[in-house]
A and B are shown apart, each in its own frame.
Chain A
Amino acid sequence: MTSALPLIDVQDLTMAYGDFILQQELTFSIAKGSIFAIMGESGCGKSTLLKYMIGLKRPTVGAIHYSGTNFWKSSSQDQIHLLQKTGILYQSGALWSSMTIAENVALPLQQFTDLSTKIISELVDLKLALVGLEGFADYFPAEISGGMRKRAGLARAMALDPDILFFDEPSAGLDPISSKSLDDLILELRDSLGATIIMVTHELPSIFALADDSVFLDPETRTMLTTGNPKTLAKESDISKVRQFLSRNTQSPKGLPQ
């Protein structure tokens, strides 16, 4: 819990699919309690970076440290312990389709805690109430809408009260109002629970409303262009590509309405 040590420290990471190098020389750190955005054009490797950070893919070059521990060099017991402290919201919810919403949220609690069934069901109700899905506990994922599935995914990600929450495109496919209320919920969770939030997104309103810090990936140079607070970057970055990406909102082009 020492504040000097960053919660997540990415050191000289190279991401590759086979021989194809997607991104290299990624170095940045994420402070505890911050909301961190991974930005960049489509196809630059944002979601892949997330996969590396949540331990789905093993880095070939470089390392990722969590409060000083290297995930891939710890024992499998420590790995499970570390994974329990992280919650992940996948792009389309990734709910287990053979289980009801309540069972989806309850599964991690049943597997990793010694709580009684009654307390688990109360916890599940609480999480569903937090994301505004109370009353949908007995529905199957196929029976609810995409936005609700996303919120159910969030309830499952929060099941074990994780210290770190990862979001893959939290507001993709949501209408502006739902997207805004999800943003508010994310802020509320950070402020109340003190969780660190890492999100992959290219929704500018969300980036500006939430992120304290960010990294910008570029598909052409295949490395990161910059890091920092998106609001500051939008104004002061000396890289035109970053300014262009972040100013799309303020310039309000003729194309689609924001």
Chain B
Amino acid sequence: MATECTLLTNRDNDRLCLTFLGSWTIHTPLCSTPDIRPLCSPDVKTLCFNTDNLKQWDSRLLIELSRIIDLAISQSIAVDDQGLPPGVRNLLKLTRQTRDQQSTAKKTPRFALLTDIGNQTLRFFKQSHEMLAFTGEILLAYSRLFLGRARFLKKDLFYFLYDCGPQSLPIVTLISFLVGVILAFVGAVQLKMFGADIYIADLVGLGMTREMGAMMAAIILAGRTGAAFAAQLGTMQVNEEIDALRTMGINPMDFLVIPRMTSLVLMMPLLALWADFIGILGGFFIGCLTLDISATLYYEQTVKAITLNHFSVGLIKAVVFGYLVAFCGCLKGMQCGRSASSVGNATTSAVVTAIVFIVIADASFTFLFNIIGV
């Protein structure tokens, strides 16, 4: 860049004069500034400025001057600012004024490792407490619902039923069909080795109804609907819409959480059932096409393998998973902070927590059903 900025010093008896040359702007990165600290010897009484040849200036000059004046004050040298442009004088005065007023403002502490670990532990306990409290609130909300005192819009309920159910069908169909195909392929390779090809129907049927149908539907809905719930409620929290409901005497738990949770809990078993069916269909295709099992044989084997028990296991799981997805989505949304990034955090956390809970619940169920022999 052609323009430059230079600072010249000139000592005249007990006066130290600083001359600013060139253009002192934020677009001239490097300015040649001599260190004036050694020049501020005790016999210097006043500091004066010369800006007659200053071409341009902005905040760049102000910070330089601020630094010089701070130094001068600390060395108890009088500052004569007459040589500065009037605008510079005004702005300097303004910054010094506010600096004195605001000197008491506190600073947020920076994090250290141990503090961080401590904070995370405390947060874990706080979150567990909040989850319990939220469970209690849900219970209270549903008891109000059954007493007929909960206020929410029927329109909302129907919208969420539609959104959780029919709207999720395409993606649930695609994923569960492929899961059925994968199960069949993985099983086929092993079963073919000892000629038990036909048991592929059992494997896919049991796998889908007991485990994968409910699990896949739940994971899809955690990503799709649970995340949406967290983002919706979080944004409402940011816009103070939830406060507005509360001050109107409408309980946000009733108005916002009940329709969402109800529709997810109702729709999840239906979706799981659909996923079971489509998954079995996927296995059927693979069985018939690559293993040369006849269609009727595959059908009969499947019907023989799956009893009502297996379906019930899947459906019970689905109801619980539906609750968990809605719980995490609504909880994280309602707890959301007041900024754009906290909506993002709420959404991420809703999905992650829901998936973790789904897997933990699934493992516990499998263990439990194994013990009681269902």
Contact = CB atoms under 8 A, between A and B. Distances in A.
Nearest to B108: A138
A160 B58 CA distance: 9
Interface residues of B, number: 34
A258 B329 CA distance: 46
A135 B105 contact: yes
B338 A142 contact: yes
A134 B102 contact: yes
B176 to A, nearest CB: 38
Interface in A103-119: 109, 113-116, 119
Contact of A122 (B27, B29, B67, B98): B67
A160 B66 CA distance: 18
Contact of B87 (A136, A141, A185, A193): A193
A59 interface: no
B341 A188 contact: no
A132 interface: yes
A12 interface: no
A191 interface: yes
B95 interface: yes
B339 A140 contact: yes
Given A135-B104, A136-B105, A161-B25, A188 B63 contact: no
Interface string A15-43: 00000000000000000000000000000
Contacts of A158: 59
B360 interface: no
B103 A192 contact: no
A194 B85 CA distance: 12
Contacts of A76: none
A97 B339 contact: yes
Contacts of A83: none
B244 interface: no
Contact of B63 (A114, A126, A140): A126
Contact of A98 (B26, B95, B98, B341): B341
A202 interface: no
A97 B59 contact: no
Interface string B83-124: 000111011001100110111111110000000000000000
Q: Is the interface of A mostly helix, strand, loop or mixed?
A: loop
B133 interface: no
A193 B98 contact: no
B27 A134 contact: no
Interface string A137-150: 11111110000000
Contacts of A136: 102, 105
B59 A135 contact: no
Interface of chain B, main secondary structure: helix
B151 interface: no
Given A126-B95, A130-B95, A133-B102, A142 B59 contact: no
B108 A139 contact: yes
B98 A129 contact: yes
A158 B95 CA distance: 14
B337 interface: yes
Contacts of B29: 113-116
Contacts of A123: 26, 59-60, 63
A113 B105 contact: no
B62 interface: yes
B340 interface: yes
Interface string B230-242: 0000000000000
Interface centre among A119, A127, A136, A143 (most CB of B within 10 A): A119
B71 to A, nearest CB: 14
Contacts of A191: 87, 90
- Residue among A115, A139, A191 with the most chain B CB within 10 A? A115
Contact of B102 (A132, A138, A142, A143): A132
B26 A161 contact: yes
Nearest to B66: A126
Interface in B177-199: none
A142 B60 CA distance: 30
Contacts of A130: 91, 94-95, 98
Contacts of B339: 97-98, 140-142
A126 B106 CA distance: 18
B186 to A, nearest CB: 43
A105 B26 CA distance: 14
B90 A127 contact: no
B63 A119 contact: yes
A129 B99 contact: yes
B1 to A, nearest CB: 9
B95 A188 contact: no
A127 B59 contact: yes
Nearest to B339: A97
Q: Kindly name the residue among A116, A142, A185, A191 whose own CB sees the greatest number of chain B CB atoms within 10 A.
A: A142
B58 A134 contact: no
Across the A-B interface, give the 10 residue pairs with the lowest CB-CB distance, nearest first: A135-B105, A97-B339, A192-B87, A161-B58, A114-B29, A98-B341, A132-B98, A129-B95, A122-B63, A142-B339
26 contacts: A113-B26, A113-B29, A115-B29, A115-B60, A119-B63, A123-B59, A126-B95, A129-B95, A129-B98, A130-B91, A130-B94, A130-B98, A132-B101, A132-B102, A133-B102, A134-B98, A135-B102, A135-B106, A135-B107, A136-B102, A161-B26, A188-B94, A191-B87, A191-B90, A192-B88, A192-B94
Given A123-B60, A192-B88, 12 more contacts: A97-B342, A98-B339, A123-B26, A129-B102, A132-B101, A134-B98, A134-B99, A135-B104, A141-B339, A142-B338, A185-B94, A192-B90
Interface of B: 25-27, 29, 58-60, 62-63, 66-67, 86-88, 90-91, 94-95, 98-99, 101-108, 337-342
